[in-house]
Structure 1
Amino acid sequence: MKIRTLVRASVLAGAMAFGLGSAHAAEVEGPEVSWNLSTWGKPRAFTVGLEYIAEQLAAKTDGKFTLKIHYGEALSKARENLDGIRLGAFQAAQFCNFYHPGKNPAWMVLTMPFLPIGDLAVSVKVREALMAHPAFVADMANWNAMPYFSAVLPQYEFLGRGEPPASLADWQGKRVRAGGGIGLAMEKLGATRTTVPATEVYTGIERGTMDAASMPFTYAHAAYQLHEISDWFTANLSPGTSECATVLNKTAFEELPEQYRKLLMDLKPSAYEAQIAAYVDIDKKNLPMFKSNLTEVTYTEEQLDEFRKAAGKPVWDEWVAENSGDFDAQGLLDLIFSEAKKARQ
């Protein structure tokens, strides 16, 4: 099944249910509003949730409320999307927290290694709770932005060239693309970390300026063709994840009629379902391909326990100590664990 099949099927079902394409009135009446959303790359699993929202907005308003997704950094560089939101250059944008830690310091908690959010349904609950936390809201308020929708990134793994890191000691000296807490965790293994946008990773590995790259497994590696220039992949290192979210310009949101604001929020649960389904679906295609063409690196439970002890709580504690004077860093970590536990009950 293609990545966007679920989205299109949902829109078709909605059209049938509400009589779209006929003379029936829109489900949500309102004025004509055109929004633009800035992102990078191309349509892929990462963007299915947004595509669902955009299509449903148009469907439920009979085309009165449109959200156009601009790919390929057509409106702004990925690292500058929050700047564009603050300037009002567009009404919505995606950003990744580790692209610019200084712009979103509280959001960096979601780069901490070994958080209990490997289950994507649990991850949605945790991320939604965090986006409502005052520290997250305050970070975005600095850019006249409001948190809206998480891409719910899966756990990261590495793809790389050269000798596979069969043991944790083999990471010593490797140059890796790993941001935030994941990067700090890899430094505990002796790796050298670098942070570049996803669009620059292929060139870095191809030219040998980095040995390996961590990305959400498996969709992102395949989306950026890293498997084409890699020799190996880690199957169960799972050092953590990060946060790439969609934010809305606060002024633009507040200027919407109430029914449009409500519609944006009401679409989120179904959009998250579409997002998760897209990741599951693409893994079914990518993982067999990786296994057939690349060396699979699997670590023992003893090796993983060693990694967690060295790069789990020690990295959390360092991050809390560094940020506790600016916001409730420990409270954010505690919230992750409490929300994850609640979501599993």
Structure 2
Amino acid sequence: MNKRLTGACAAVICMSFGAEAVALEWNVSVWGKRRAFTEHIEKLAEMVSEKTNGEFTMNISYGGLSKNTENLDGISIGAFEMAQICAGYHEDKNPTLTAAELPFLGVNTLPEEVAVSTALYQHPAVQKDLARWNAMLLMPSPMPQYNIVGTGEPRGSVDQFEGMRVRATGGLGEAFKAVGAVPTSVTASEAYNAMESGVVDTVAFAQHAHLSFRTIDQATWWTANLNPGTVNCPVVVNTDAYEALSPEFKEALHSSIEPAIDHYIENYNKLLDRWEEVLAEKNVQKVTISEDDLAKFRGATAGIQDEWLAKMDGQGIPGQELLDTIQTALDEARASN
């Protein structure tokens, strides 16, 4: 697998164990519950603890430290040392990351998502963007292309998306808006209630989230091949906390990133293998969108990238460079396979 990002953070809780060792605990803010989306964080914590003989540990909190939409703010003020964020929750706070959330970028696999995100995170403009929040990018949380679940009659064509209320954030929300749908950016944790109460008709998620946040429990149909894009949800760390780490702790952290992501992908692939069984068990109809409709969808969203570039230019952000970085990384990842 390609080289990973190595940044991190820690505003730390320290206890002296004599003059020989200092035990360190980082608080890590995530949300929901332990699931495929957080397995790399769990693996990272496990490996770091093992490599440091328990002297550097991570307390992973599922919602107990912050709201998911406020994790970047918490990192900024040092309320905790590490967190998972999603660019689409606060586009104005991390505009450079939204490059990876644009629709129809052509990324097809989890390793491709890792390659694209890693390259993007290493771009100076992205690092400068996150530095405004005293944050360093540690590693991606690669997710497959999003698809939607819904209730009632299946919406098997783009024309049927007209007026459809869909939970979709960031660039995905813009994509659905381009074909007449009405996007709503409720958080993942709120999606089930939004669907149950009729605030939305459909929810766009990756497979693990449909399971974890139980939207699949209400669904009568699921689009198998819409694949308009995905969200970008890196793991970030507080810069000051990272700089306070000893060389040994930094090495333990950095050397654990690649195996943690390998573990994440292996685990996620097992979930994808089970997905067909889940659909059958819950009697959810699989809807396949025709190639003509997919082409229509892509055509309707063609202007979104141009609008995004104009917006980035207006903020002094090299948007075209970021898109070129993504495309180059994607080409290289495919060539290496």
TM (normalized to structure 2)?
A: 0.91
User: Any idea what the Cα deviations from partners look like across 1:11-43, whole Å, max 9, x if unmatched?
Assistant: xxxxxxxxxxxxxxxxxx963111110010000
Q: Say which SS state the counterpart of residue 151 (structure 1) adopts.
A: coil
Q: Say which SS state the counterpart of residue 43 (structure 1) adopts.
A: coil
Q: Say which SS state the counterpart of residue 67 (structure 1) adopts.
A: strand
CA distance in 1, matches of 2:250, 2:199: 45
Q: 2:165 aligned with 1:162, yes or no?
A: no
Which of 203, 210, 213 is the aligned partner of 1:221? Answer: 210
Which of 96, 102, 107 is the aligned partner of 1:106? Answer: 96
Q: Say which SS state the counterpart of residue 68 (structure 1) adopts.
A: strand
CA distance in 2, matches of 1:30, 1:134: 36
Aligned to 1:230: 219
Count of paired positions: 314
Aligned to 2:259: 270
How far does residue 262 in structure 1 lie from its aligned partner after superposition? 2.0
Q: Which runs of 5+ in 1 are unaligned?
A: 1-28
How far does residue 150 in structure 1 lie from its aligned partner after superposition? 0.9
User: Any idea what the Cα deviations from partners look like across 1:77-121, whole Å, max 9, x if unmatched?
Assistant: 111111111111111111111111111111111110111222111
Q: 2:45 aligned with 1:43, yes or no?
A: no
Runs of 4+ in structure 1 displaced over 4 angstroms? none
Q: Say which SS state the counterpart of residue 146 (structure 1) adopts.
A: strand
Amino acid at match of 1:54: A
Contact 1:30/1:260 (8 A) holds in 2: no
How far does residue 160 in structure 1 lie from its aligned partner after superposition? 1.1
CA distance in 2, matches of 1:116, 1:299: 17
Contact 1:219/1:286 (8 A) holds in 2: no
Q: 2:223 aligned with 1:239, yes or no?
A: no
Which moved further from structure 2: 229-238 or 289-298?
289-298
Amino acid at match of 2:329: E
Q: 2:65 aligned with 1:75, yes or no?
A: yes
Aligned to 2:331: 341
Q: 2:65 aligned with 1:84, yes or no?
A: no
Aligned to 2:142: 152
Aligned to 1:203: 193
How far does residue 266 in structure 1 lie from its aligned partner after superposition? 1.3
- Aligned-residue CA RMSD (Å): 1.2
Aligned to 1:287: 276
Amino acid at match of 2:169: G
User: Any idea what the Cα deviations from partners look like across 1:168-206, whole Å, max 9, x if unmatched?
Assistant: 100000110111111111111100011011000000000
Identity %: 40
User: Any idea what the Cα deviations from partners look like across 1:298-338, whole Å, max 9, x if unmatched?
Assistant: 01112212211221x32111110111132001111111111
Which of 33, 48, 53 is the aligned partner of 1:57? Answer: 48
Contact 2:157/2:290 (8 A) holds in 1: no
CA distance in 1, matches of 2:273, 2:136: 34
Q: Say which SS state the counterpart of residue 103 (structure 1) adopts.
A: coil
Aligned to 1:21: none
Q: Say which SS state the counterpart of residue 267 (structure 1) adopts.
A: helix
Amino acid at match of 2:324: D
Contact 2:52/2:252 (8 A) holds in 1: no
CA distance in 1, matches of 2:306, 2:193: 34
Q: Say which SS state the counterpart of residue 32 (structure 1) adopts.
A: strand
